[in-house]
Each structure stands twice: as C-alpha cells, then as structure tokens.
C-alpha cells in the first residue's frame, strides 16, 4: 500500500445495474470483486463518486419535450446525450450500492447536482453555459494527501469511468483503469474505449494486480 495511490470508484449505484433506470451491460458482475477489494484495504485512499441529480435535470430526456432517451442534442455548444431519468437525489437508485461494504471510503464526491449541467467525470462537471467545466474538488482533495497515482473503476466504462480517467491524466495523475471492475452501457464500445485510453497514456489493469502489489 502506498500513500501516494488512490482508488476512485465511479457511480456504483443501483440505477446502473440490470433492471435499473440506466442499466450497464452486466453491471452487477463487478459487485462481488469490488466488495472484496475494498474489504482488503489495498489502497491508502478510496473515493467514490455518486451521480446525484435533482428532478428535471437537463440531461434527462423527459426534460426535453419530444425527445427520447439516448437522443443527442446540442447543449452549450457540445453534444449531449439525453438519458432516462436516473440517480435522482434521495431515491434508492441513487444510493451507493447496498451490497458493498463501503467502510473503506474516505470521501464521496456527488456530481450532477446542478440542474443545468451534466457531469460524467469525478473531477470536473461537463461544460456549463459559460464554457467552463466546474471542478468537483476531487483533484484538490487528492493533492492535499500527496496522491500521485489513481486507479479508476466502476460504471459506466465508456462514459463516467472514461471521462474520470481522462481528466485524472490531464490533471497530472498517473492513471490506470481497473478493467475487470468496470462495465459499459453498451458492450460494442469496448474497443473504442481501449483505444481512447491508450491514446491518452492511460493503462488498463486487472484488479488482481492491485491485490498483488
């Protein structure tokens, strides 16, 4: 265990599980191994992100009359996917997954709380109307603790995990994705996700490598 390393667990919430409002492909399969990893306390620092949307969030298709889930619109000059209503604040679907022992957590970063701005990355919100990507505070939290390297896992592989890993790398952290502890919304995106990670200098590892370190 190194004090300079942190595990970032992205959006492991019931709404992203099979049967949930925005299900990831086999998303529930990561739960047992992730629970074992957290119980093993192999990371000095563990942070979870949590999608935490107010009702009527701008990313919900239901907030745009005539639009259907997964449609694309322009929002503040950038492409925005419209999602089914999900992870609404205070609902059971928005909770951290109850089948995981979260005692190892040091912090929870709630994102997507602004009704007018979507949020994929654990580090920065999506583009706002003024063109900025507001910080969630995660980078500062990690730097205050001397963290230099992060390992990213969770849901969804090609959206929030990918954006979190890209931002981590851009912000100066050595970054790896724990591939077996992620799942995509759509499995056909995996090749493109791997290519994007590689292009940004982000490695893919197996959770067994963390336990063996």
Residues annotated as catalytic (active site), given as ranges: 11, 111, 160
Chain mean position to CA 78: 20
**Cβ neighbours around 99 below 10 Å, total:** 13
CA-based torsion, 117, 202, 169, 106: positive or negative: positive
Tokens of 195: 């290519």
Tokens of 110: 């709630």
Q: Measured between alpha carbons, how far is 203 from 174 in angstroms, rounded to an integer?
A: 9
Contact by Cβ (8 Å): 164, 121: yes
Burial class (CB in 10 A: 0-12, 13-18, 19+), 64: middle
Phi, psi of 51 (to 5 degrees): -60, 130
Q: Measured between alpha carbons, how far is 90 from 75 in angstroms, rounded to an integer?
A: 26
């Amino acid at each position: 265990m190194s004090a300079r390393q942190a595990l970032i667990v992205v959006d492991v919430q019931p709404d992203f599980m099979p049967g949930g409002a925005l299900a990831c492909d086999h998303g529930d399969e990561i739960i047992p191994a992730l629970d074992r990893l957290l119980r093993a306390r192999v990371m000095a620092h563990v942070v979870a992100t949590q999608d935490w949307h107010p009702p009527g969030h701008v990313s919900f298709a239901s907030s745009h009359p005539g639009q259907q889930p997964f449609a694309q619109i322009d929002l503040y000059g950038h492409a925005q996917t419209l999602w089914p209503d999900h992870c609404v604040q205070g609902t059971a679907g928005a909770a951290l997954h109850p089948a995981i022992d979260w005692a190892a957590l040091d912090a929870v970063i709630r994102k997507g709380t602004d009704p007018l701005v979507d949020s994929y990355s654990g580090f920065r919100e999506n583009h706002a109307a003024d063109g900025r990507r507001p910080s969630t505070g995660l980078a500062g939290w990690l730097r205050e603790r001397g963290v230099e390297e992060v390992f990213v896992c969770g849901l969804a592989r090609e959206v929030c995990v990918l954006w979190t890993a890209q931002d981590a790398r851009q912000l100066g952290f050595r970054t790896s994705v724990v591939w077996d502890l992620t799942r995509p919304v759509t499995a056909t995106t995996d090749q493109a996700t791997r290519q994007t990670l590689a292009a940004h200098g982000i490695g893919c590892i197996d959770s067994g490598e963390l336990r063996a370190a």
